[in-house]
Structures are given as structure tokens and as C-alpha cells.
Amino acid sequence: MITTTGLTKVYRSRGRETAALDGVDLHVREGEVYGVVGRSGAGKSTLIRCVNLLERPTSGTVQVAGEDLTSLPGSALRAARSRIGMVFQHFNLLSSRTVQDNVELPLEILGVSGKERSRKALELLDLVGLSDKGKAYPAQLSGGQKQRVGIARALAGDPKVLLSDEATSALDPETTRSILQLLRDLNEQLGLTVLLITHEMDVVKAICDSAALMKDGRIVESGKVTDLLATPGSELAHELFPVGGRPSGEDSTVVDLTFHGEAATEPVISQLSRTYNIDISVLGAALETIAGRQVGRMRIELPGRFEDNVVPIGFLREKGLQVDVAPVGKPADSNNDSLVKEAVK
């Protein structure tokens, strides 16, 4: 549904150049909720603004729903852009207009008749749970309600794609949850593809099917969240789902296990202990629901160095667990030791 190829954006101001995007290839499938995360300055806003060409990329292409936006002339681009909804962190509502008039605004610009505009706006306000607020003004609404209006307005052109620029960053945790739930419901009910940018890992955990991590204008990791969680060395997995626990000694091997759904690690751990006659310590464990699916992680400590544990680690993998080995004293995701990676493949 959304593909960017070799996207770059260089800002030039006062003789200085900043490469905000440095060759971004993004692939968002139809019907998925896709989150782009990264620290401030990573290039997230620039990326999302390039997807609907609010910002023109310096080079590269952007395709949305099979159309190459970068090659469209002005009028065709405006039409294509009206089919891409966008919601903003600070809602961007017009304070002098009622809620209903705010939702009607994009339809007005498209030249839709007054009667049809009104019908559509009321339908959308109902969809976002604000059917009784049409005549209110933005100043009379809570933050969450304002964002609901922003979402209704973004849906006015019947978009296939909704872009969300930190839509929940200005909201409290409870309101954030309800707005994320609304986005997920719209994704499911309308088959809407959602591309969101956020600096909050909890947003990714709550609703994203796929995610990408941006650093210095590049995507350094991307994929389905459940696949990332099962990828040894994944930085996103570690950020999303840290399992704490420090090893008790220098001479031990720390192993992170990831399992999905109903798989239980306990029998496997006790089998491992019996088979190889080793004492295993559980350093930490967590079970969470990510994008509606259960994912568990457990950090265990095996006595002896990595070389002594190649066979037990192989046993864990044979049992179908995802295994990620950390050198002692370092988190599993900072591991670059090719020996370790090779052995756990």
C-alpha cells in the first residue's frame, strides 16, 4: 500500500545541509498498522511528511496504493493526497469552526455539496464516538475528543491510508489507549492501512503489526513485530520487551528465550536441567500481548561460558524456542560476536 524507494531529503539552511532522510526503503502492506519509531531527530516526521508529499523528497520515489506520487502533476497530486488522511499531534483544528465544520472542511475543498458534506460529517462523528458534539467548538472538547475530531476529518475523503504523526503524544495514558483502540478499530472495520510515527514503544506494543526503527535518517531494522521479537540481536525487540535480570557470576552464559502463543518454557527448562545435569537460574520473565498475540520472553543463566553451553543451547532451539545469547555483562541485543550468532542459528 505504501512503498518508498531510496527516499532522501536534504534540508539546506544558512549554508548548512542536513540529510533528514538518507535512502529510506519502506514497505507497508495493505491493511496493516505500521509504526516507525526512533529518537527525536531520527527523521520520522520528515518521512511521514514525504509519504503524502507535504514535504517533497530530494530524491527517491513514493508509491501509495500503486500510484507514484512523486511523478504526479499538481492537480492529480492534490486528488491523490485527498485520499491519504493525516492526523497530527496537536490536532490542527480550526478554533473558529464547529466540530462538524472542521470535519466538513476537506469535503468543502473537494467541492462536495453542503447536504452531502453534512451527511458525511455526521456519519464520521458517529464513527469516532462524537455524534453529540457536532455543534461544539474545539475549545469545549478534551484532548482525546479533539483527536477524535482530527481522525474524523482525516477520514472525510474515504482514504485507504491514514498517516498519524505522534497522534497520542499530547494525551494522557488512558486517553492514549482509547485513541489507539479507535485507530485499531478503524483499521479493522474499514480495512484502513495505518502508518504512524511515534517515540513511544507502548504505542507499537498496543497496535502495530509491523514496525521500523529509524536512526540518522535510515531504517536500521524493520519487520513484523512478532518476527522482530524472535530475532536474535533485535534492538527493537529489546526496547519493546526488555527482560531484566543480571547474571550472578562472571563465568556464566545468559540466554534470552522468546516464545509465542501457548508454548510453555517451563517443561523445556526442567528437561534441559535434567538432560545435562545443570542448574539453571531464571533471571527474568515477561508475558505480554502484542498486536493481539501473546509473546513471552524469559532470561535464563547457564553455568559456564558460552563454549561450554553450545549443546544445551542447541537443545533449546530444537525445542522450537527462539534463543538469543548475550555475553556476560551486556544485554543480549548488543551482541556482535559472530561465534555466538553462528552457534545459535
Residues forming the site for ligand ADP (CB under 6 A): 11, 13, 18, 20, 38, 40-46
Query: Residues 174-181: contacts with CB within 8 Å, 24+ apart?
Result: 175/142, 175/143, 175/144, 175/147, 176/202, 176/203, 177/206, 178/144, 179/144, 179/147, 179/148, 179/151, 180/206, 180/207, 181/207
Q: Which amino acid is at 32?
A: E
Q: Which is nearer to ligand ADP, 42 or 107 (CB)?
A: 42
Q: What's the closest the beta carbon of residue 20 comes to ligand ADP, in angstroms?
A: 3
Q: What's the closest the beta carbon of residue 34 comes to ligand ADP, in angstroms?
A: 16
Q: Which is nearer to ligand ADP, 235 or 337 (CB)?
A: 235
Q: Which is nearer to ligand ADP, 18 or 181 (CB)?
A: 18
Q: Which is nearer to ligand ADP, 214 or 300 (CB)?
A: 214
Q: What's the closest the beta carbon of residue 94 comes to ligand ADP, in angstroms?
A: 24
Q: What's the closest the beta carbon of residue 44 comes to ligand ADP, in angstroms?
A: 4
Q: What's the closest the beta carbon of residue 42 comes to ligand ADP, in angstroms?
A: 4
Residue 100 CA to residue 94 CA, distance in Å, equals: 11
Three cell numbers at 299?
Answer: 532470561
Q: Which is nearer to ligand ADP, 43 or 296 (CB)?
A: 43
Q: What's the closest the beta carbon of residue 184 comes to ligand ADP, in angstroms?
A: 23
Q: Which is nearer to ligand ADP, 11 or 276 (CB)?
A: 11
Answer yes or no: are the C-beta atoms of 88 and 143 closer than 8 Å.
Answer: no
With H, G, I as helix, E, B as strand and everything else as coil, classify residue 73.
Answer: coil
CB-CB neighbours of 134 under 10 Å: 19
DSSP string, 271-326: HHHHHHT---EEEEEEEEEETTEEEEEEEEEEES-GGGGHHHHHHHHHTT-EEEEE
Residue 232 CA to residue 283 CA, distance in Å, equals: 18
Q: What's the closest the beta carbon of residue 8 comes to ligand ADP, in angstroms?
A: 12
Q: What's the closest the beta carbon of residue 221 comes to ligand ADP, in angstroms?
A: 15
Return the half-sphere exposure (C-beta side, CA atoms, 13 A cut-off) of residue 48.
28
Q: Which is nearer to ligand ADP, 14 or 274 (CB)?
A: 14
Answer yes or no: are the C-beta atoms of 61 and 6 closer than 8 Å.
Answer: yes
Q: Which is nearer to ligand ADP, 218 or 319 (CB)?
A: 218
Answer yes or no: are the C-beta atoms of 72 and 80 closer than 8 Å.
Answer: yes
With H, G, I as helix, E, B as strand and everything else as coil, classify residue 211.
Answer: strand
CB-CB neighbours of 14 under 10 Å: 4
